[in-house]
Amino acid sequence: MYSGSITPILRIFDIDVAHNFYMEYLGFHIDWQHKFADNFPLYLQISKGDCIIHLSEHFGDASPHSAIRIYWENLDALHTELIQKDYKYAKPQVEKTDWETLELSITDPFSNRLIFWEDA
């Protein structure tokens, strides 16, 4: 039996704010984007390594305040990369959990929580 990967859809409200957070701060890049016409919401796919996320301005696609867990090999390297950027709105720390994982949790500007993790 084969199962595919899951691609989360996160709700965004401002593409410039999303670009600043996801592309400039987290280091994702835009794979593709779609609008039905000029005055329509944007839907896009972003990725970093094997991690793929869809971002949507569409009203019915997703709810803000979602949380996703993303396995990330070498969490310390990601932490170092983010801290060096000195992002004004987030100063994430790596924490060891009671369930033996290391986790780095960041809330995006739209109240979606991204939890990057690896085994401790």
- Token readout for 108 is 């995006």
pLDDT, tens digit, 9 for 90 and up, residues 19-73: 999 999 999 999 999 999 999 999 999 999 999 999 999 988 888 889 999 999 9
Task: Kindly state the greatest CA–CA separation across the chain.
Answer: 49
Residue-range domain boundaries for the chain: 9-119
**Nearby residues of 22 by Cβ (< 8 Å), 6 or more positions away:** 28, 46, 53, 55, 108
- Average pLDDT, integer, range 84-89: 95
- pLDDT reported for residue 4: 83
- Identify whether the C-beta of residue 18 lies closer than 8 Å to the C-beta of residue 55: yes
Instruction: Please give the Cα distance from 92 to 57 (Å, whole number).
Output: 26
**pLDDT value of position 5:** 87
Q: Is 31 strand, coil or helix?
A: strand
Instruction: Output the pTM of the full model.
Output: 0.93
- Supply the pLDDT for residue 3: 82
How is domain 9-119 classified at the CATH fold level?
Answer: 2,3-Dihydroxybiphenyl 1,2-Dioxygenase; domain 1 (3.10.180)
